[in-house]
Structure 1
Amino acid sequence: MRVLFRTNAIDDRVRRILVENLYTKPGALFLGAANGIIAALIAASYSDVPLLRNTAILLSVIGMGRVIMALALPRLVKRDTAWLETAYQIGAFSFCLVVGVLGGMTVMYQLPGAAQMLIICYAIGYGSGMSSRNAGRPSIAIGGMVLTFAPICYALLQQPSLAHRALAVAIIIAFLGMMTIATQIFRTLRDSVAAAETSARLAEKMQVLARSDVVTGLLNRAGLNHFLVEHLARWRNSSSIALFWFDLDKFKEVNDALGHQTGDKVLCEVAQRLRSQAKLDAVIGRFGGDEFILACDVRDRREAETIALSLLGEVSRPLRIDENRLEVACSMGIALYPDDGTDIETMMQGADLALYHAKVNGRNQASFFDPSMTRDLVRRREIEAELRLAVQRDELSIFFQPIVDLKSGKIRAFEALVRWFHPEKGELRPDEFIPVAEETGAIITLGNWITAQAARAAAQWPDDVTVAVNLSPLQIKAPGAALGILNALREARLPPHRLELEITETVLLDHSKQTEDFMAELSAAGVRFALDDFGTGYSSLSYINKYPFGKIKVDRSFVSGVNAGKKSEAIIRAVSEMALTLDMQIVAEGLETIEQVDAVRKAGCTLGQGYYFSRAVPDYLAGMLLAQEREKLNPMQAIG
């Protein structure tokens, strides 16, 4: 009985599946009804009792009505489950009751034995079939059997014949067995359907998890590809699709300094900011590491640019993680569909190239894809592959540009500049291969080689002439960087005070203790430091106060740039006065005319460098320049 009335044991979806199963295979329902109608009409033909004939006709009407209802199922599926179940119950119970009453009447009116056997056999067979076919709703199966068997058993028990009474008992025993079968089938069917539903939900959940990033909750790479393909399939000709590829600048330093837990929190915050700024139809995902991708419909390139600036501004806002105030900027590459590609793979390649271009051009900016980027990338890849072999093939050379005392005209130092003479491509400019070397990490090996070669050349010069070498941020952060420079000086037998390392402000932006220790160790050994490209950064004065710089190199834009003029002269004069107070030297770069030389000398610069004095020359010509200078300054000694 608990199974009979247990309607809440399965959820609504499972119940609906079981109820709809009642309406399946209307052909079987038709055969059952037709068989019953034929049996009823034949039995009624053996009697002149109007009630019996009317009962047979009623059975025929109910049977045909149930068949029609089953055929109308496609129009009934929109009904709720309770309505479908109630409608089926009314039809089934009516048919069963009429079959049972008809069977009882054949006994009570003592129709011929063949007629009684026809109706009773049909009733027992119908009840047996009902116990299995309607087991999906045991209340219907058991209720139908009760309505079918009860009138027949009652009529049989009223008869004096032992055979009639024995048949009634047999029907009751069969009913109990069929009820057990019905409930067992129901449990099995219910559990199977429920298990299938559970498996489907788990499969759906697993699919969601397989397409989700565990850290941010955004789509992962697989999810991105799936939903981008779907988004592309919904594309409308009246719009474009913009694909934004983000890369967080210097995120590795956050992980290294504060730990991966803090790094994960940064990623979650970035993900939340992307969600807050994205359009409702946008697809957002974490591509891996510190890279994110966002795709959405846009009207045109201008709208894509507006969205890019909004996203850049939101992501680059300072954030606070565990009492730490962090500034994590980002670079972005953008590709448009269908302008930059007709499939997802091509679009992603374009956005990736644009991102690469944005990072090469200084980071913290957005860049749209352009076909020329593909050619640039091919050239960069060629340079990257050949640069590693250039040192072994003796294709690289060190040239030296003199730094001159503006008062006496004497050469005080040379800046070491690398040159690459490729056997097929000819001379490659430093701005072509130095950025590639920095991106690939080859700058460490290249920088150490430049320092060693410069030190060997400087060891042949007079003791009062120094050599200046530019340092890359990667060189400074490389393990054992200071020791490597000291070893190069030792092997070249060049006193440390004759080496001057030029560092740009970008090296100092992250306020790294590693940089402080590097400069402190070399400064203690006697190596000198110069602040290069002064005036192009943001915090130059604080750097001068914090680090052991003995020289400042004023950027060439103040001397020969488009903005050179009275304002730049005033700036140089102010810097020169400050340097005089701090006992520092000031080098003016980019001097090309005598007017520029006079201007920077009057402004207070002590040293000058530029084409006016000399271009960069090989080491042997640098030696000749020094020899000629010494000969002019001391001709008698030269004669002697």
Structure 2
Amino acid sequence: MGALHIKRMRTLLRVLFRTNAIDDRVRGILVANLYTKPGALTLGAANGVIAALIAASYSDIALIFHTAVLLSAIGILRVAMALALPRLVHRDTAWLERLYQLGAFSFCLVLGILGGMTIQFGLPGPAQMLIVCYAIGYASGMSSRNAGRPAIAIWGMVLAFAPICWALIMQPDLASQALAVAIVIAFLGMVTIAIQIFRTLRDSVSAAETSARLAEKMQVLARTDAVTGLLNRAGLNHFLVEHLASWRASSNVALFWLDLDKFKEVNDALGHQTGDRVLVEVAQRLRSQCKVDSVIGRFGGDEFVMACAVRDRREAETIALMLLGEISRPLRVDESRLEVACSMGIAIYPHDGQDVETLMQGADLALYHAKVNGRNQASFFDPFMTRDLVRRREIEAELRVALQRDELSIFFQPIVDLNTGRIRAFEALVRWFHPEKGELRPDEFIPVAEETGAIITLGNWITAQAARAAAQWPEDVTVAVNLSPLQIKAPGAALGILNALREARLPPHRLELEITETVLLDNSKQTDDFMAELSAAGVRFALDDFGTGYSSLGYINKYPFGKIKVDRSFVSGVNAGKKSEAIIRAVSEMASTLDMQIVAEGLETADQVNAVRDAGCTLGQGYYFSRAVPDYLAGMLLAQEREKFGLQQAAG
């Protein structure tokens, strides 16, 4: 029991004389409550003034009257302070607390003295009861109202009760002395209540602050990208909405939307951990190059957004070039040396949009055009991009149902032996005849199909249709089909082509897949495996648009190409001439040594045919021989050719 009493005493002393950070904040809440809500204080003081003046009216003793007047003056002054000082709540809490204590202790002391005097001087019972009851009630109210600072409540009760209890104990009758004991017992009970309320209030404040800190932490986490530490999409949107108003008051605002080029290949080849490290390095480079007032966020995947105030478009262009150069610097992750370029779209406030959403749309459109135009570059938003996007979205939506409506057709352009004039193959080309818009050019819808991923479905359909048509031709005639990079990288791409051949009953050696150098730039294992599997099955490959890439000779050496198609720019382009003829001749000699065929594209005149034949090309393709025709006309061309050569052989 002794240890329990000592512990309780220590708790009481700490509550009365020692405070910690939470106690100080509880005290601040109390002070704010005291000065901003003076209603209870006003009501209590008014009752005290009335009680004191009524009690004094029962006696002609001047000391009692003066004490009642003093109590009334203190009460009125406290009410005036409570009404006049709310604007000072934000000042020093300790100063306001001392001011409040002075008023409270003065009021309680004078009240206690007045109560003791009514008992000591033998005022009538009603007057004594009025003051004593008011004192007990007022002190009880203090124990709860001032519980945020128990010292005020306890010392206020001591000052109010002590004179009354002393006067009661000095009375000769037992009832008065018993009342003094009862007041002391009530005092102890109210002390316990005040301390308990203080603890409850302190725990509530502590819990509220903990919840607030957790909520703030969760909000920060919800707006932060876990990989790079930058703002995420939600955080970036919130920041831009909050700060655009402050930026717009002083200058223009440039919004840069960056997309890492071919980042997916990094993830696929080296793993997501390496990909994350690349993202972290890119984020650090963006931080190192951004202006002081910039905001940077990772918008998802391999996309980043940066916004900052700029003087004009020229400064935005300078920043864009600086960012492109910094990001494109080679970086090393473990033993891998990586080069990660990026495409960038830029929109500027207020020219390109009056709010964050419009600016984001503009930058996104500009980014889209930067990708379409070749990647690794920056593009500023222009209003025509919106019209172009609407057009592309229409094509995208209509392309998805075009196959179901039989709006797409396969046409075939012959590839002719330049020595004999006979058709050796047909290249399958897709045509779209829209019921309302008429024929749509391939360069209108093929890029859209590639960007949206629809090229995979479209490419598989083209291969299947071409294989069915070729199965009806003579066995020495092959069909060539162009492949998109997305088709090659799609899961099960090789298996899908072999299944199409099997269903059409077309031998694999009669299918020739034309691949451009852009497909091979990634040095992807998927591409290697795709070509190896189909080559082993008998499918042939041709290198398309030869001469427009970067390392064609390396590709010829590495991959199983049996045919090279010389780009039409060497035959009928503006640069066609002696140099191009020399290049064609050199390539032809190389192909002859490697037992490969050379196809000259874009032949339109007899002179061009003679020139490429003399240069060593073995096959030719172009309008000079025939435009692309439907499958039934392709069959007719073959039939006419067979009949013609049959007659020639018979005549010979």
Question: Normalized against structure 2, the TM-score is what?
Answer: 0.83
Q: Assess if the C-alpha contact under 8 Å between 1:14 and 1:197 holds in 2.
A: no
Residue of structure 1 in register with 2:187 after alignment: 175
Q: Does residue 539 of structure 1 match 2:551?
A: yes
Question: In structure 2, how many angstroms separate the alpha carbons of the residues matched to 1:517 and 1:371?
Answer: 44
Residue of structure 2 in register with 1:73 after alignment: 85
CA shift, 1:238, in A, is 5.8
Q: Which amino acid aligns with 1:97?
A: L
Report 1:512-523 matches (<5 A): 512-523=524-535
Q: Summarize the Cα distance change of 1:568–1:23 in structure 2 as closer, same or farther, 3 Å threshold.
A: same
Q: Summarize the Cα distance change of 1:150–1:613 in structure 2 as closer, same or farther, 3 Å threshold.
A: same
> Which range moved further: 580-589 or 539-548?
580-589
Question: In structure 2, how many angstroms separate the alpha carbons of the residues matched to 1:221 and 1:515?
Answer: 34
- Of 163, 185, 201, the residue aligned with 2:197 is 185
CA shift, 1:89, in A, is 1.7
Q: Structure 1: where are the runs of 5+ without partners?
A: none
Q: Summarize the Cα distance change of 1:171–1:561 in structure 2 as closer, same or farther, 3 Å threshold.
A: same
Q: Summarize the Cα distance change of 1:61–1:446 in structure 2 as closer, same or farther, 3 Å threshold.
A: closer
- Of 8, 20, 25, the residue aligned with 1:13 is 25
Q: Assess if the C-alpha contact under 8 Å between 2:30 and 2:146 holds in 1.
A: no
Q: Deviations over 1:168-222 (max 9, x none)?
A: 2222122112212222222233333333333344444444444444454444444
Q: Does residue 475 of structure 1 match 2:487?
A: yes
Residue of structure 1 in register with 2:441 after alignment: 429
CA shift, 1:337, in A, is 4.2
Residue of structure 2 in register with 1:507 after alignment: 519
Q: Does residue 376 of structure 1 match 2:424?
A: no
Question: In structure 1, how many angstroms separate the alpha carbons of the residues matched to 2:126 and 2:391?
Answer: 100
Question: In structure 2, how many angstroms separate the alpha carbons of the residues matched to 1:448 and 1:121?
Answer: 97
- Of 535, 548, 563, the residue aligned with 2:560 is 548
Residue of structure 2 in register with 1:136 after alignment: 148
Q: State how many pairs are aligned.
A: 639
Question: In structure 2, how many angstroms separate the alpha carbons of the residues matched to 1:448 and 1:124?
Answer: 94
Question: In structure 2, how many angstroms separate the alpha carbons of the residues matched to 1:235 and 1:615?
Answer: 59
Question: In structure 1, how many angstroms separate the alpha carbons of the residues matched to 2:39 and 2:470?
Answer: 103
Q: Assess if the C-alpha contact under 8 Å between 2:324 and 2:342 holds in 1.
A: yes
- Of 38, 61, 83, the residue aligned with 2:95 is 83
Residue of structure 1 in register with 2:241 after alignment: 229
Question: In structure 2, how many angstroms separate the alpha carbons of the residues matched to 1:388 and 1:75?
Answer: 68
Q: Summarize the Cα distance change of 1:319–1:163 in structure 2 as closer, same or farther, 3 Å threshold.
A: same
> Which range moved further: 292-301 or 592-601?
592-601
- Of 455, 458, 472, the residue aligned with 1:446 is 458
Q: Assess if the C-alpha contact under 8 Å between 1:23 and 1:73 holds in 2.
A: yes
Question: In structure 1, how many angstroms separate the alpha carbons of the residues matched to 2:120 and 2:504?
Answer: 128
Q: Summarize the Cα distance change of 1:375–1:40 in structure 2 as closer, same or farther, 3 Å threshold.
A: closer
Q: Assess if the C-alpha contact under 8 Å between 2:26 and 2:201 holds in 1.
A: no
Question: In structure 1, how many angstroms separate the alpha carbons of the residues matched to 2:498 and 2:250?
Answer: 65
Question: In structure 2, how many angstroms separate the alpha carbons of the residues matched to 1:406 and 1:389?
Answer: 41
Which secondary structure state, in structure 1, belongs to the residue aligned with residue 101 of structure 2? helix
Q: Assess if the C-alpha contact under 8 Å between 2:35 and 2:86 holds in 1.
A: no
Q: Summarize the Cα distance change of 1:568–1:106 in structure 2 as closer, same or farther, 3 Å threshold.
A: farther
Question: In structure 2, how many angstroms separate the alpha carbons of the residues matched to 1:533 and 1:332?
Answer: 28
Q: Does residue 123 of structure 1 match 2:129?
A: no
> Which range moved further: 129-138 or 156-165?
156-165
Question: In structure 1, how many angstroms separate the alpha carbons of the residues matched to 2:485 and 2:605?
Answer: 33
Residue of structure 2 in register with 1:526 after alignment: 538
Q: Assess if the C-alpha contact under 8 Å between 2:257 and 2:344 holds in 1.
A: yes
Question: Normalized against structure 1, the TM-score is what?
Answer: 0.84
Question: In structure 2, how many angstroms separate the alpha carbons of the residues matched to 1:622 and 1:48?
Answer: 132
Identity, % of aligned positions: 86
> Which range moved further: 588-597 or 71-80?
588-597
Question: In structure 2, how many angstroms separate the alpha carbons of the residues matched to 1:624 and 1:370?
Answer: 49
> Which range moved further: 165-174 or 620-629?
620-629
CA shift, 1:84, in A, is 1.9
Residue of structure 1 in register with 2:4 after alignment: none
Q: Assess if the C-alpha contact under 8 Å between 2:295 and 2:307 holds in 1.
A: yes
Which secondary structure state, in structure 2, belongs to the residue aligned with residue 536 of structure 1? coil
Report 1:587-626 matches (<5 A): 587-593=599-605, 605-619=617-631
Question: In structure 1, how many angstroms separate the alpha carbons of the residues matched to 2:140 and 2:278?
Answer: 68
Residue of structure 1 in register with 2:112 after alignment: 100
Q: Summarize the Cα distance change of 1:635–1:69 in structure 2 as closer, same or farther, 3 Å threshold.
A: same
Q: Summarize the Cα distance change of 1:147–1:393 in structure 2 as closer, same or farther, 3 Å threshold.
A: closer
Which secondary structure state, in structure 2, belongs to the residue aligned with residue 399 of structure 1? strand
Q: Assess if the C-alpha contact under 8 Å between 2:330 and 2:340 holds in 1.
A: yes
> Which range moved further: 490-499 or 427-436?
490-499
Residue of structure 2 in register with 1:166 after alignment: 178
Q: Summarize the Cα distance change of 1:426–1:161 in structure 2 as closer, same or farther, 3 Å threshold.
A: closer
Report 1:559-570 matches (<5 A): 559-564=571-576, 568=580
Q: Assess if the C-alpha contact under 8 Å between 1:14 and 1:194 holds in 2.
A: no
Q: Does residue 197 of structure 1 match 2:209?
A: yes
Which secondary structure state, in structure 2, belongs to the residue aligned with residue 398 of structure 1? strand
Q: Assess if the C-alpha contact under 8 Å between 1:316 and 1:327 holds in 2.
A: yes
Q: Assess if the C-alpha contact under 8 Å between 1:22 and 1:136 holds in 2.
A: no
CA shift, 1:142, in A, is 0.2
Q: Assess if the C-alpha contact under 8 Å between 1:47 and 1:111 holds in 2.
A: no
Q: Summarize the Cα distance change of 1:114–1:633 in structure 2 as closer, same or farther, 3 Å threshold.
A: closer
Q: Assess if the C-alpha contact under 8 Å between 1:21 and 1:136 holds in 2.
A: no
CA shift, 1:150, in A, is 2.1
Q: Assess if the C-alpha contact under 8 Å between 1:502 and 1:530 holds in 2.
A: yes
Q: Summarize the Cα distance change of 1:9–1:460 in structure 2 as closer, same or farther, 3 Å threshold.
A: closer
Question: In structure 2, how many angstroms separate the alpha carbons of the residues matched to 1:4 and 1:497?
Answer: 98
Q: Deviations over 1:508-540 (max 9, x none)?
A: 222222322221223233332221122333333
Which secondary structure state, in structure 1, belongs to the residue aligned with residue 248 of structure 2? coil
